[in-house]
Amino acid sequence: MDKATPAGGRESAERVPALNRNDKPFHVVLAQQFDRQAIEELCQLADMIRAIGGSRQGTQFLRTMLSHRRAMLYFIQPSTRTFLSFTAACQVIGMPYNEVRDRSTSSEVKGESEDDTIRVLSQYFDLIIMRHPAEGFAEHVAHMLNEMPRTIPVINGGSGKDQHPTQALLDIYTLLRAFREPFGSSGAETPHGSTPSARAVAPRYTQNPFAGKTIAFVGDLKRGRTVRSLTYLLCRYPGVRLLFVAPPELQIGEDILEYMSHRGIETQLGDDLRAHVGECDGIYMTRLQDEWDVAGESKAIDYDRYSLTRDMAKDFKPNLAILHPLPRRHEVDQSLDSLPHAKYWDQVHNGMWMRAALIASIFNVDVAIRDHYHAYYTF
């Protein structure tokens, strides 16, 4: 596959098997790799890890899980949250890591190809977590490493305007936590400083909290890889309604609309957030991604119509969840930050636990974590 070309032309059913091992993700490249059961098992595992990690003894246990493995963070695109979230996740489960964040520090300045750089890294490390500006590059790398004598997993930390599957996983984890029963009744997080004797009901994600819910995506949807990936995951939940509010030139792609149509997901397009805010159970805000502009074409867009302001709060549903993948500019009024509806800070925190759970699952230490949780943290 041409590494600079997105693989959107092929159905996910053809692409997923090459990325999985034993019917579970080995390389994590596409959101379509995760069915509803996989999503909910990862959410439950993330809850268990955060509960175990709330005590000194639990933290020490988690750090033994992958201390014998090594990760490389190959981030050739600017990143703060995703990079630090992955480093924190590696620390949670005891996985040593190194980083390459600037091509000028690698042999690529001597003319080495990116492919050869990755091949070299695969000999030193047991996992490559990558962020790259080219669409389809992570999938290209996964296929390339599958052909190597020593195959190691690849996690896509953002691939051009294509996909961002781990962001989607932490997003749906945040929504599931927001929409399920009060957290204390279904799996409380162990307070920091508590001991393993603290007991909690094992968390469950067995219902469909998205049935009858309206989730709105707002802003630059055409170029928003987080929107694309989260949409794929939400399609796993029948009865959800998805609303896409965007300038016409930045509206969600036809391929996503076709994907949802084939799966019977109700959708609606809009161009004014204020007209729809009162019907939303979840609002996923995005910034104007003008870094993808060719000649400053986004400057002519009136983005105020796609911003969430304090005066809209009177129309919020009581349990509305507001998400944003960050960074934000002015599309979410900072005066909303202190409201219970603001879940974007939860997203940041949840990302560390979800990514720790994902890495644990890839390396098959999730069973040990579950056993430890049930031995010390459940009734």
Question: HSE on the CB side for 178, CA within 13 Å?
Answer: 27
pLDDT tens figures, 211-221:
999 999 999 99
Question: What percentage of the chain has pLDDT greater than the value 70?
Answer: 86
Q: Which domains does the chain have, with CATH numbers?
A: 12-164+349-376 (3.40.50.1370), 167-347 (3.40.50.1370)
pLDDT at 297: 67
- Give the largest Cα separation in the chain, rounded: 61
Averaged pLDDT, 154-173 = 93
Report helix angle 366-376 to 344-362, nearest 10: 110
Question: HSE on the CB side for 167, CA within 13 Å?
Answer: 27
pLDDT value at 107 more than 80: no
User: What is the value of pTM for the model shown?
Assistant: 0.90
pLDDT value at 169 more than 50: yes
CA-based nearest residue to 231, from 7, 15, 20, 32 = 32
Q: Are 76 and 45 in contact (CB under 8 A)?
A: no
Residue linked to tokens 């399609």:
235
Averaged pLDDT, 116-124 = 95
Q: Who wins on pLDDT, 197 or 282?
A: 282
CA gap 97, 69 in Å, rounded: 9
pLDDT value at 185 more than 50: no
Averaged pLDDT, 260-266 = 95
List the single range of 180-189, 271-280, 368-377 with lowest mean pLDDT.
Answer: 180-189
Q: Who wins on pLDDT, 112 or 141?
A: 141
pLDDT at 63: 98
User: Residue 104: which residues within 8 A CB-CB, separation 6 or more?
Assistant: none
pLDDT at 258: 95
Confidence of residue 112 (pLDDT cuts 50, 70, 90): confident
Averaged pLDDT, 292-315 = 82
pLDDT value at 41 more than 70: yes
pLDDT at 106: 67
pLDDT tens figures, 69-95:
999 999 998 888 999 999 999 999 999
Please count the residues of the chain.
379
Averaged pLDDT, 148-152 = 94
User: Residue 347: which residues within 8 A CB-CB, separation 6 or more?
Assistant: 170, 171, 174, 323, 324, 325, 326
Q: Are 324 and 344 in contact (CB under 8 A)?
A: yes
- Whole-number mean pLDDT of the chain? 88
Averaged pLDDT, 291-302 = 70
User: Residue 279: which residues within 8 A CB-CB, separation 6 or more?
Assistant: 214, 243
